[in-house]
Structure 1
Amino acid sequence: MTYRIKVPPRTLPVDEAHLVSNLEHWLESLRVYRGSLLVGAAILLLAAGIVGGVLWYDSQTAHKAQDLEQEATLHYFTRPADDPKKADTNLKEAVTLYKRIVEEYPRTLTAPLAAFHLGNALVQANELDAAIEAYKRFVLMYGSNASLLGLVQQRLGYVYLLKGDRDQAAKAYSAVLDIPGALNRDHALFELARLEESLSRPEGALAHYQDLMKNYPNSPLANEAAVRLKVLEVKKSPDPAPASPAPAAAAPATLKKP
């Protein structure tokens, strides 16, 4: 008697839809989502074009700002001492160019330095109110630039002193002390001490001079602060009491003749 062994079929019956290859699936998905993919690709190309355009524009404006700054600085620092008319013309031209940089190219790396020089040039031109506004604009727009902010506040204090406003000058100098990493804190302390002296407040002056000498012993102002400190301490100490006059010598007794 023979036995028949049933061998299972090598392949199971599969629905015809499952026989679509991976490539056909991909092509089908591409056909279905073609519109969305085209829109996405267009958006990516547009974004890349915008970024490239912005970078190109920033590069062009940076070069223009640098050229203007170099020209302005040339006018500012080449004012002939023996030709007042030419010096005045150069100063006005420098002011005009610095203003252009700040107003037309405020986002460039050159703009903060141009804003600082603009304030300085206006001081040289004796336009003190305009200089104050220029320094204040720097604080508002470029306050994160710590390396220049301290110098701007110091110059602002100086201009207020020229105008006779000691209170505002003191605020500007004190602002330097609040700037982390400011490189001119010793100068601010010295100016604050001098202000206290001018206001007949020796205690405040002594405190600022002592702070300067303690925290900035290598400052070029430390020696002068030490001299001023000694002068104030001498003024502060009470005058020594005058020495009592020596008692008058007793007059010799008159001898009577016998």
Structure 2
Amino acid sequence: MKILVPVKRVVDYNVKVRVKSDGSGVDIANVKMSMNPFDEIAVEEAVRLKEAGVATEVIAVSCGATQCQETLRTALAIGADRAILVESGEELQPLAVAKLLKALVDKEQPQLVILGKQAIDDDSNQTGQMLAALAGLPQATFASKVVVADGQAQVTREVDGGLETLALNLPAVITTDLRLNEPRYVTLPNIMKAKKKPLETVTPEALGVDVAPRLKTLKVSEPAKRSAGVKVPDVATLVDKLKNEAKVL
């Protein structure tokens, strides 16, 4: 069984992002970048399925600038067998990424696509669902447990009321939640091995995909700073402030 795992290069979650002075976006110059944490969980799950003998090959995919090769090498160090970079200088929005992944699904014919439920930079939570729709595949989102056997994937997912278990016929698309697993620590020997694993580079044009942006960012701004709290002498004053100042009563 072949598993395709899309990974995204994002600003490291430990970095406090800065908004550009012109409000056009986030400043990523000289900022540490890393693999999207949800995608790291997806790679770990795919590698575990391979180690369990369920899968035979894990393919990591990334779409974006040349620097995404670093993210792919991290996926290879975790345990992916080979990598594909769809290199593009354009801003890639969720629909464009989903179309690129659909082209790769048609080409590679994986039985399972596992990707993070969302990226921590835009929090769109759209690519997995769009890919499933474009490819006509069953999907299970927010997976906290995955069991693959007999041509099916049993997926436990987190919903508002608790846990829901779905049975999907393969091929299928699964998006990962935080509680699915804890990614392993990448060791130096595995980092060295990853440098020798194959990494293929293709372009959107070669895949026949139009990646022109459909959305336009009008303005990016920092959240308003939280105002300081105040002490009130009694309940009557508190009620008055909630009613007349906060206007929540």
TM-score by length of structure 1 reads: 0.24
Q: Name the structure where strand makes up a greater proportion of residues.
A: 2
Question: Relative contact order (C-alpha < 8 Å, sep 6+): which is higher?
Answer: 2
- Provide TM-score, normalisation by structure 2: 0.25
Higher helix fraction (1 or 2):
1
